[in-house]
Homo-oligomer: A and B are copies of this chain.
Amino acid sequence: MVQAKNTAENVADYLRMAILRGEIKSNEPLRQDKIALELGISKIPIREALVQLKAEGLVTLHPNRGAFVSTLSAAEASEIYTIRIALETVALEAAIPRLTPSMLIQAENTLRVMDVETDVARWTELNWQFHAQLYQAADMPHLISILEPLHVNVSRYLVLYLNNLGFQTTSQNEHYGILDACRIRNATHALDLLRVHLQSASTTLATFLMSEM
């Protein structure tokens, strides 16, 4: 059954996408009246959407002053990756013995699509899709629901420099390596590769964030 979404959830999706695609930049205010006018609705569902986005870490709410797109400091980015490494290794470890052949094929298909995807925002979506497909087998929905916003929160910065470097190629090689290790059920190796994969993304992002500020 597909849950019918109310207006607030649709607004949250709309704003999340706008933030992710960089259409609304860091520290920019999200004016309730303005968004309401834009979407042709009232402020009520927008306020609820903002509470939701606050929980995801995408916006910061200042009482009586409004909502602002949150900024990620280098320290915060590194903290998020530390959390991701801790949780994603747990997820992958639990997943590996449960991965079915069809799951592995689906994950590989995602990588194939990523190989030829040029839109960076879409590429980061697929990036999470690949990881999530593997973690799905762990059957830990709560863990996934914690990981997803963490991924979203850093990926909006990743898109800013993805074009420049050979990051995508390196990242893809690491992805194929992880997938191969999963296929032969070599958990130790898969976890090592995943740690290196996330760690390298972490340092790349931290370096980028420091150079910007």
Majority SS of interface residues in chain A? helix
Scan A103-135; emit 1 where CB is below 8 A from any B CB, else 0: 000000000000000000000000000000000
Contact of A83 among B5, B48, B90 (CB under 8 A): B90
Q: With the chains together, A55 CA to B12 CA distance in Å?
A: 13
Complex: A82 Cα to B141 Cα, angstroms = 12
How many chain A residues touch B (Cβ–Cβ < 8 Å)? Answer: 30
CB of A86 within 8 Å of the partner chain: yes
CB of A47 closer than 8 Å to a CB of B: yes
Contact surface of A with B, Cβ cutoff 8 Å:
3-6, 8, 44, 47-48, 51-52, 55-57, 63-64, 76, 79-80, 82-83, 86-87, 89-90, 94, 140-143, 146
Q: List 23 A-B contacts (CB under 8 A).
A: A3-B63, A4-B64, A5-B63, A6-B64, A8-B51, A44-B47, A51-B51, A51-B52, A79-B140, A79-B141, A79-B142, A79-B143, A80-B142, A82-B90, A82-B94, A82-B140, A82-B143, A83-B87, A83-B142, A83-B143, A86-B89, A87-B87, A146-B146
